Structure 1
Amino acid sequence: MRVLFIQGGFGTGGAEKVIAMIANHRVAQGDEVEVAAMRAPKDGTYYNYSPDVRLTVLEPDVDMSAPANQMRRLRQVRRLIRDRKPDVVVSFLTKINVLTLVAGMGRRVPIVISERNNPGVQNNHPVWKKAAMLLGPRASAIVTLTERGRDQLPSKLHRRAHVIPNPCTPMNGSRNQKKSRATDLVAVGRLDWQKGFDLLMQSLAKLRETHPDINLTIFGEGPERPSLERLRSELELDGVVSMPGTTQKHGAWLGEGDIVVVTSRYEGFCNVVAEATLSGVPIVSFDCEFGPREMIQHEVNGLLVQTGNVEELTESLRRLIENAELRQGMAQAANLNKDYLDPDRILGDWDRVINSAVKD
């Protein structure tokens, strides 16, 4: 089977991670697999691919965020589908899904699309959301990450929608939780308004009034770096909050903190929650839609906080910092999500969706 995956880039995102896993899995089964993306980091793909997976960068030197370039991107995708003649196309993320569905018109190739974020609140132009709703019926199958995400789809699309969470395995390197007080917080994600790092800094400033030894490291890169650096200075946190950029190795952030903090205003799933809970790292997270509630059992393997509530976030962090017994209990609850996030089971679900799309 010839399988063509289409995504935005070869960077550090959760969608990129999952496509790499599925692509490697399919090529190991004997499929002819190609992964195409609009762009790639200068130093190559962030996630590892099998040498048998063909990698294609469509527009390496073009700013494809500019609206005027969307037609150029559409032509590139259409040409790729025409030239490769895949048996099935799999695309991730709203904009790429829309372009892929349009590009596939008249090609008689099944297309599986996957929505990876919260379409109701993500910061896309309304045209993209409307286009996604109109073009959705053209997809052979639609994959969402959670049941609540599936419920966001129009009812007419529910029949062809499948819920498949992101696969995840435990990572090594988490800290021992035996010390009486935690001192190091860590957060991970794109430096973007969605991730709520501005709220996290506000909480940290309040927290340090009673715990002056607490510090925070935020791993990630993105457009909000200048504004976050200004806020850090305004809150007098320059020597307290570190923003070293993206880790060179996936999961390298795991041993950098006693507690993981997730302050996303919205998510599609949140891989950081998956990785932290499976690896036994205590976590405090906003109960945003969607993802954290699916993986965190409050008081058992983490604490859930009302989304956007800085005061509640501060108190929850203070409680976990001071309570070694609670942190140790969370570390020991690492197996709670083992079956839910099991890669073999989830890749099997993806196989069924892809294979069914081709048979239909």
Structure 2
Amino acid sequence: MKVTFFLLNLDGVGGTERSVITQANALAGLGHDVTILSALRTADSPHYAVDAAVRIRQLVDARDPEAPRVEAAGINGALAATLHLTPSLLVPARWDVQFSALTDAMYEAVVPTLDADVVVTVTPGLLAIAVQLLPDRVGLVHQEHRSSSDRTSGLEPLLTFAPRADVVALLTTSAADWLTETLGPVAPRTVVVPNPLPQGFKPRSTLETKLIVAAGRFVWEKQFAKLVEAFAEIAAQIPEWRLRLLGTGPQRLELIRLIRRLGLWDRIELPGQSADMPSEWAAASISALTSRSEGLPLVVQEAMAAGVPVISFDSPSGSRAVIRHEANGLLVGPDARAGIATALLRLATDDELRHRLGAGALASSQQYAPETVARQWEQVFADVVARRSRGPQRVTQRATELATSPHTGRPAPTASTDLTPAQARHRAMSWAVEVAQRASGRWFAIPAHGDSPATVVVPMADRAAYLTELGGSGAPGELSMVDSAGHGWPERRGRLDELAASLVGERTGRVSLEPWPLLADGLPGLLSSGCRIDVEFWEDGPDGSLVAAGQNRYTNQLPPAYETVPIEIEGVPARTLPLMAEPTVHDCTFPIDAVYTWVDGNDPEWNAAREARLAQLSGTALTRQSSGRARFISRDELRYSLRSLHLFAPWIRRIHLVTAGQVPGWLVEHPQVNVVDHRDILPADALPTFNSHAIESSLHKIPGLAEHFLYLNDDFLLARPQQPQRFFDTAGHTAVFLSGGNLGLDDMPGAAPWLKAAWNNRRLLRETFGVVSTHSLQHAPYAHRTSVLEEIERRFPEEIARTARSPFRSDDDISLLSSFAQHYGLMTGTAVLGTPETTYVNISANDVVRRLRALKDRDRDFICFGDHHDHALHPAALQEVLEEFYSFYLPVRAPWEKPD
């Protein structure tokens, strides 16, 4: 079989170059006709030895970068130099800066006439060239040598051109899963084939020398400093052991400084880069890898080939694919320095364990022998050639495959529609705690604070037992598990039994339990946010302490023995540390009420009173903006606004519904809802009133009202779970949500009553504080303090009394709760600015259907539905559209609603 490898620079010294040359040599040894087509030549001979049976073609001789040479008709030295400095058309610089117009010209001359059965590309840029220029008769295999999802460049060409390759080969199963999931229906056929070990004799370690070896380039990504610090933690306990770091790079000087600062200059060696790595591994008894991420770490494979056990940070696409924990090495949680220290100490002090894992490492390395890997490639290439013979047109063949074999996968369960977020958190916490009680004697829980979910903490030593139990009998089907591996790798979500089983052999430090987030139509459901419970696995330190898996509010480390106390979290009995059982400075511990103003504008008796009072007035009161029916019409908004409070703010103590003696027909008596009549808070000579400004002026007089409360119009919705800290800081200051709209200049003709009230507010604030208000407020719940409103009433009694006695919106109103008090608070130090995600929907507009559809993505904090007098939709159609949205968005009834 004729196989051609596309390589950027045959003379390079990286892992990709070594892997390609090893593969080419092995395939040539099996009798195949192998060519390496390199874009560049930069040295007199390749750094790695190429078998004489492998043909080499180097398109651009760039040994002198100022005078590149090519063997092509019509391209002389001057033109070659110009093209060499001109950006590539085939591979744009944003994909890979190493290509040029000169390499374009050479590829265009060579690739279309290539005599090959299969071409193998090894970078996304080379894949792009092959797809654009390769004839359809030639099979195309792309090998992805990096942790693809963690790329800083090259991701765009990979995702663009991978669907047109015959096969994409990846180094690990997790990488293949990522590519398939990312590309979805157009994903190519994938195979998982590891990089081979370099050819040649590999001596075996005796595992008796007191030497730990690590190798790699001294760059930030490799995190050698963490290895040095981990060794420093246990150096005094293993005084005969040394650490040797092989390599070079820009961080060498930093490492030297760190070693001297730690006083380990006589215990840690930096001899530079070695030309004989097999011998270096054979001299070692332990190897360590602390890279942040890897594709498939060759240093781990090489160490194992010498029978050396490897300690490594777990990562989704690197060490996890090679190391089997406690079988051929030790995995520790990502970035868990204490885990590395503990693992080093274990292997250095336990000869039996070191030899057992070393034997496992040697056995595992056999699968990476060049000949073994070459046999896998033979089968892949044979399948590709057979497919080419059946359908020589690459794009047509792929399109036909997609049309006749659509992308299918096992569907995930859909989101529950009968649980509240609080109930979902309760179920997740119940299961997390129940499993902890069975799997570990040292577990504890951290209560939720702010946006941080409640967390169950389990020692890393009990991780496998915990995950086994977590996915075992009784696992709730409505819960999913989320593996947030981090390091640029996308999170994985799965069924508890399936994902827990796959995670048992890994060492990630955190998983999450939460309801399945999506409905059958793919839209986020009610439980798609704010329902998570975390489980963290804390590493065991060398001294038996527990080291946190990540940042938290309390501690990075716990002593070997610690006290716990009982606590209830999400309604579940649990245990925590005494300090964690107390409120923190980040928590709002005071009671918070909610206040609604509502009127049923469809009530004939109420409407008759409105018209009678209106007949006695003139001026602004007679305008549609002040007294028109649209201001009072009920579209059942209140039911769903209260429902949103029940679902997304269960911490509200009591809800006060202020009405003109009316009660919604669907409302039943409930201890959390207090119906307040206007007569209970407004002066008798102010009634009846039809002015929201007037009603606002007296809401702070509601009997039993909490010091801190939210004022909501009935057309406000909470759109996702909220914390009290959204509205109040822990000192009790109220949050003010300014809008982007300015108030304009005073007294402009034709202004709406709300704007005139804002100008009145401004004049009063200016006279009092010498400052000018400039913006209106967002249509979102208004946070208030009763004492501040009382202070305002004492300070401005005439303005408050005049507003309270305006039966309809007038030119003299102030808007106390929807603007004035917020600006007053900013001036007096009782308020702070907040930044919620809010959407205002004008339901009279022609785009209301589209706007409501967009809101189903559930990416807002608050929604306001503003009504007006003239509507684009027929009233019946509008009501149907609104009811469909309400029932979709807020499907779970509140306990104060009458059943159907």
Q: Residue 118 of structure 1 contacts residue 268 of structure 1 at CA under 8 Å; is this kept in 2?
A: yes
Q: Is the contact made by 1:38 and 1:60 (CA closer than 8 Å) also made in structure 2? A: no
Is the Cα contact below 8 Å between 1:5 and 1:35 reproduced in 2? yes
Match of 2:27 in 1: 26
Q: Are 2:218 and 1:175 aligned?
A: no
State the TM-score, normalized to the length of structure 2: 0.36
Shift of the 74–132 alpha-carbon distance from structure 1 to 2, 3 Å rule, reads farther
Which one is further off, 16-25 or 39-48?
39-48
Q: Which amino acid aligns with 2:287?
A: V
**1:158-207, CA deviations, whole angstroms, 9 ceiling, x for partnerless residues?**
55111112234896333323x4xx63110122333332222212222323
Percent identity for Structure 1 against Structure 2: 27
Quote the offset at 1:25 in angstroms: 3.1
2:127 paired residue number: 97
Amino acid at match of 2:230: S
| Distance in 1 of aligned mates of 2:53 and 2:362 | 33
Where 2:34 maps in the other structure, the secondary structure is strand
User: How far apart, CA to CA, are the structure 1 residues paired with 2:148 and 2:229?
Assistant: 27
Bigger mean CA deviation after superposition, 334-343 or 240-249: 334-343
Q: Is the 8 A contact 1:306 1:312 kept in 2?
A: yes
- Residue 70 of structure 1 is matched in structure 2 by 99
Please state whether the residue corresponding to 1:348 is helix, strand or coil: helix
Q: 2:164 aligns with which of 135, 138, 150?
A: 138
1:101-140 → structure 2 map (5 Å cutoff): 101-102=131-132, 104=133, 109-122=138-151, 124-125=152-153, 128-140=154-166
Distance 2:31 2:268 in 1: 47
List aligned pairs for 1:300-319, cutoff 5 A: 300-319=327-346
Distance across 2 between alignment mates of 1:7 and 1:279: 29
Aligned residue for 1:86? Answer: 116
Aligned residues: 352
Report the residue type matching 2:122 in the other structure. Answer: F
Matches within 5 A, 1:245-260: 245-260=272-287
Q: Which residue of structure 1 aligns with residue 184 of structure 2?
A: 155
Whether the 8 Å contact between 2:202 and 2:305 is mirrored in structure 1 is no
> What SS class does the counterpart of residue 332 from structure 1 fall into?
helix
DSSP 3-state at the match of 1:331:
helix
SS of 1:89 mapped into structure 2: strand
Structure 2 partner of 1:6: 6
Report the Cα distance in structure 2 between the residues aligned to 1:207 and 1:303, rounded to whole angstroms.
17
Q: CA deviation at 1:312?
A: 1.1
1:261 is aligned to: 288
Give, in whole Å, the separation in 2 of the partners of 1:40 and 1:232. Answer: 39
The answer to whether the 8 A contact 1:97-1:113 is kept is: yes
Partner Cα separation in structure 1 for residue 130 and residue 2 of structure 2: 16
Report the secondary structure of 1:185's partner residue: strand
Task: List per-residue Cα deviations over 1:218-267 (Å, max 9, x = no partner).
Answer: 22334444544454445444444333333223523212322111112111
How far apart are residue 138 of structure 1 and its match?
A: 2.0
Greater CA drift, 131-140 or 239-248: 239-248
8 Å contact from structure 1 (residues 218, 244) kept in 2: yes
Deviation (angstroms), 1:290:
1.7
Paired with 1:116 and 1:259, the residues of 2 have a C-alpha distance of 26
1:187 to 201, 205, 214: 214
Q: Deviations over 1:272-316 (max 9, x none)?
A: 222323432122111122232233222232111112111111111
Distance across 1 between alignment mates of 2:119 and 2:211: 43
**1:37-60 Cα distance to aligned partner (Å, 9 max, x none):** 355675733433221212244444
Q: In 1, Cα distance between the equivalents of 2:53 and 2:168?
A: 27
The alpha carbon displacement at 1:32 in A equals 3.2
Q: Which residue does the alignment assign to 1:48?
A: 49
In structure 2, the partner of 1:15 is 16
Asked if 1:219 corresponds to 2:249, the answer is no
Letter in 1 for 2:190: A
Q: Does the 8 A contact of 1:89 with 1:112 survive in 2? A: yes
Greater alpha carbon shift after TM alignment, 51-60 vs 69-78? 69-78
- Pairing 1:196–2:226 present: no
C-alpha distance in structure 2 between counterparts of 1:238 and 1:260, whole Å:
20
- Over alpha carbons, which structure has the higher Rg? 2
AA aligned to 1:164 is V
- SS in structure 2 at match of 1:142: strand
Residue identity matched to 2:289: V
- Indicate the SS of the match to 2:270: strand
Selected match of 1:205 from 189, 208, 232? 232
Structure 1 pair 70–45 and aligned structure 2 pair: CA distance change class (3 A)? closer
What is the rounded CA distance, in whole Å, between the counterparts of 2:348 and 2:369 in structure 1? 30
Tell me, what secondary structure is at the counterpart of 1:50?
A: coil
CA distance in 2, matches of 1:310, 1:187: 15
Counterparts of 2:316 and 2:301, CA distance in 1: 15
Q: Which residue of 1 aligns with 2:306?
A: 279
Structure-2 change in CA distance of 1:354 and 1:250 (3 Å): farther
CA gap 1:340/1:174 in 2 versus in 1, 3 angstroms: closer
1:352 is aligned to: 379
CA 1:300–1:194: 2 relative to 1, 3 Å: same
What's the secondary structure of 1:333's corresponding residue?
helix
Query: How far apart are residue 30 of structure 1 and its match?
Result: 4.3
CA distance, structure 2, for counterparts of residue 307 and residue 282 of structure 1: 18
Distance in 1, matches of 2:41 and 2:315, equals 30
SS in 2 for 1:269: coil
The residue type paired with residue 294 of structure 1 is: A
SS of aligned partner of 1:191: coil
Q: Which of 339, 351, 364 matches 1:324?
A: 351
CA distance in 2, matches of 1:216, 1:43: 36
Q: Which has the higher contact order (CA 8 A, sep 6+)?
A: 1
CA distance in 2, matches of 1:190, 1:212: 27
Judge conservation of contact 2:163–2:186 (CA < 8 Å) in 1.
yes
CA distance in 1, matches of 2:126, 2:227: 31
Shift of 1:330: 1.8
Shift of 1:212: 4.3
Deviates more, 1:309-318 or 1:41-50: 41-50
Structure 2 portions without partners, runs of 5+ = 67-83, 88-92, 389-900
In the superposition, relative to structure 1, how do residues 236 and 22 fare at CA in structure 2: closer, same or farther (>3 Å)?
A: same
Change in Cα spacing, 1:186 to 1:76, as seen in structure 2 (3 Å) is: farther
- CA distance in structure 1 between the aligned counterparts of 2:124 and 2:261, rounded to whole angstroms: 36
Q: In 1, are the aligned partners of 2:294 and 2:315 still within 8 Å (CA)?
A: yes
Larger deviation, residues 189-198 vs 297-306 = 189-198
Of 324, 345, 364 in structure 2, the residue corresponding to residue 297 of structure 1 is: 324
Which moved further from structure 2: 337-346 or 88-97? 337-346
Contact 2:121–2:142 under 8 Å retained in 1: yes
Contact 1:170–1:278 under 8 Å retained in 2: no
